[in-house]
């Protein structure tokens, strides 16, 4: 298996046309996805993660549009591709799992009929009932449910049916937009384990978008943390979890009350995400940052390399004092 990435995103920018002028929802995202890699994208609501996902999948519709950058999938540039060429790729080479199965599945047709539609629409030569039953078994649902309607299945089963649908053509990349947010914790855990098992079995890459870091902590190899349209930290998952470089990542991690250990009062991340029409100057996180410095409001940080990750924080820039784990007032001067 080659080590060339199957997906290369460079400087991706997405804008929304609003009466007040264009608003940048995604601002300069770079991402490489290797074959079979599980990439997690984490951030609060409104940070642009879902928009970025739709941009990669070429699913944006007006007033949103790709304003710049490139998306190269398996050597082909996706941005600006005609609908016809895209249609050939869709579902065969990459597929999408949406946030809520009840919104994505047609409520008036059976699951089996929807699978059939997908198989036919993308020109499958295989035996339809056989393939449908196969994918259902893959996700752990008895194929007898092909006759069921979405409302007859439980929430967890519906989501698994969505995943089965995404795997009909064994694509190389599956894009998932918060597929577990409508489920409770037990079902979430079971779904995540399932996805990971399928990934290891079939070898597809996954881009998984969520606001809940814990979901991807154990399953992803690469992790992106997004804030206000920008990537603020990116690197190996374990690295970001064990030693988060960016104060926002640290804040997200700290938002989880622990079930073991002493009960401490947590603060979460006070304040709310900025209005993307008028983002803060300098570092976009600086109004909410617990370790903000004076220069943060004027200098826009780049992504600086920090061991196994990159962090968009002036404290991580080269020449800054040694990065510590606990927030501390600045000690050195940026060279």
Partner 1 sequence: MTAIMVDKAVTPTSGRAPKGRPGGSLLTAIRTNRKAMVGFVIFVFFCVAAAVPQLFTSVRDPQLRAFDVSLGSSREHLLGTTAFGQDVFAQLIYGTRQSLVIALVAGVFATALSVLIGVSAGYLGGVGDGILSLITDVFLVIPTFPLIIVLATYAGKGSLGVVIIVLVITGWSYGARQLRSQTLSLRNRDFLESARVRGERRSYIILVEVLPTLTSLILASFLGAALYAVLTAAGLQFLGLGDPSSASWGTMLYWSQSQSALQTDQVWWAIAPGLCVALLGASFALLNYAFDEISNPALRPVRRTRVKRTHP
Partner 2 sequence: MTVDPSVPLIETRGLSRHFKIGGGFSRRTLHAVDDADIVIYRKEIVALAGESGSGKSTVARLLARVYKPTSGEILYQGRSLADITSRKESLAYRSDVPMVFQDPFSSLNPAYRVSHGIMRGLKLHRTELTAAQRLEEAERVVEAVGLTPAADILWRYPHELSGGQRQRIGFAQALAYRPKLILADEPVSMLDVSIRIGLLNVMAKMREEEGVSFLYITHDLASARYVADRLMVMYAGNVVESGPMEDILARPKHPYTQLLLDTVPDPRAPLSVTSETDRGEPPKVIDPTPGCRFRFRCPVVVDECHQVTPTLRLLGPDHTAACHVATADLPDDAAH
- Interaction site with partner 1 (CB under 8 A): 17, 22, 44-46, 50, 62-63, 65-70, 79-80, 99-100, 102-103, 155, 178, 181-184, 211, 272-275
Q: Name the one range near partner 2 by CB under 8 A: 80-88, 99-107, 167-175, 267-275.
A: 267-275
3-class secondary-structure state, position 114: helix
Q: 80 is in the binding site of which of partner 1, partner 2, none (Cβ under 5 to 8 A by kind)? A: partner 1
13 vs 160 by CB, closer to partner 2: 160
Q: Are 306 and 323 in contact (CB under 8 A)?
A: yes
Q: Does 144 bind partner 2 (CB under 8 A)?
A: no
Q: Which of 173, 184, 177 is nearest to 162 (CA)?
A: 177
116 vs 284 by CB, closer to partner 1: 284
Angle between helices 185-202 and 155-166 (to 10 degrees): 20
* Least distance between partner 2 and beta carbon 248 (Å): 9
* Chosen residue from 5, 129, 155, 279 binding partner 2 by CB under 8 A: 155
Q: Does 45 bind partner 2 (CB under 8 A)?
A: yes
3-class secondary-structure state, position 14: strand
Total of residues contacting partner 2 (CB under 8 A): 40
Task: Name the helix (H) or strand (E) containing 121.
Answer: helix 111-121
Q: Does 113 bind partner 2 (CB under 8 A)?
A: no
3-class secondary-structure state, position 308: coil
String of contacts with partner 2 for each residue 170-199, x by CB under 8 A: --------------xxxxxxx--x------
73 vs 248 by CB, closer to partner 2: 248
Separation CA 152–CA 259 (nearest Å): 35
Q: Are 136 and 165 in contact (CB under 8 A)?
A: no
Angle between helices 155-166 and 128-138 (to 10 degrees): 130
Q: Does 322 bind partner 2 (CB under 8 A)?
A: no
Q: Are 231 and 32 in contact (CB under 8 A)?
A: no
Q: Does 227 bind partner 2 (CB under 8 A)?
A: no
Q: Does 269 bind partner 2 (CB under 8 A)?
A: yes
Separation CA 234–CA 223 (nearest Å): 6
Q: 193 is in the binding site of which of partner 2, partner 1, none (Cβ under 5 to 8 A by kind)? A: partner 2
Q: Does 287 bind partner 2 (CB under 8 A)?
A: no
Q: 66 is in the binding site of which of partner 2, partner 1, none (Cβ under 5 to 8 A by kind)? A: partner 1
Torsions phi, psi for 259 (to 5 deg) = -90, -15
Q: 50 is in the binding site of which of partner 1, partner 2, none (Cβ under 5 to 8 A by kind)? A: partner 1
Distances (CA, A) of 318 to 83, 90, 112, 131, 195: 44, 42, 56, 54, 38
Q: Name the one range near partner 2 by CB under 8 A: 7-15, 154-162, 290-298, 305-313.
A: 154-162
Distances (CA, A) of 25 to 29, 191, 209, 225, 292: 11, 29, 15, 15, 24
Q: Which residues bind partner 2 (CB under 8 A)?
A: 44-45, 140, 154-157, 184-190, 193, 211-215, 217-218, 241, 251-253, 255-260, 263, 265-270, 272
């Amino acid at each position: 298996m080659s080590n060339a990435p199957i997906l290369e995103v460079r400087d991706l920018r997405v804008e929304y046309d609003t009466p007040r002028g264009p608003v940048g929802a995604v601002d300069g995202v770079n991402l490489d996805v290797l074959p079979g890699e599980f990439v997690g994208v984490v951030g609060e609501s409104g940070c642009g993660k879902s928009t970025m996902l739709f941009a990669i999948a070429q699913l944006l519709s007006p007033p949103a549009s790709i304003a710049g950058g490139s998306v190269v999938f398996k050597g082909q540039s996706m941005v600006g591709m005609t609908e016809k060429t895209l249609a050939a790729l869709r579902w065969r080479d990459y597929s999408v799992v949406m946030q809520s199965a009840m919104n994505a599945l047609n409520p008036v047709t059976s699951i089996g009929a929807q699978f059939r539609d997908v198989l036919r629409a993308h020109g499958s030569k295989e035996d339809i009932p056989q393939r449908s039953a196969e994918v259902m078994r893959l996700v752990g649902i008895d194929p007898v449910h092909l006759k069921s309607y979405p409302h007859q299945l439980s929430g967890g089963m519906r989501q698994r049916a969505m995943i089965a649908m995404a795997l009909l053509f064994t694509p190389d990349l599956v894009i998932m937009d918060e597929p577990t947010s409508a489920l409770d914790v037990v079902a979430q855990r079971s779904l995540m384990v399932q996805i990971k098992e399928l990934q290891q079995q079939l070898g597809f890459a996954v881009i998984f978008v969520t606001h809940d870091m814990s979901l991807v902590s154990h399953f992803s190899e690469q992790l992106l943390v997004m804030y206000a349209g920008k990537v603020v930290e990116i690197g190996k998952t374990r690295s970001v979890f064990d030693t988060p470089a960016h104060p926002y990542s640290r804040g997200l991690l700290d938002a989880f009350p622990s079930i073991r250990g002493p009960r401490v009062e947590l603060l979460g991340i006070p304040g709310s995400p900025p209005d993307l029409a008028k983002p803060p100057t300098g570092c976009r996180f600086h109004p909410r940052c617990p370790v903000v410095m004076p220069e943060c409001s004027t200098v826009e940080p780049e992504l600086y390399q920090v061991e196994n990750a990159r962090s968009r924080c002036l404290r991580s820039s080269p020449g800054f004092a040694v990065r510590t784990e606990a927030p501390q007032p600045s000690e050195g001067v940026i060279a």
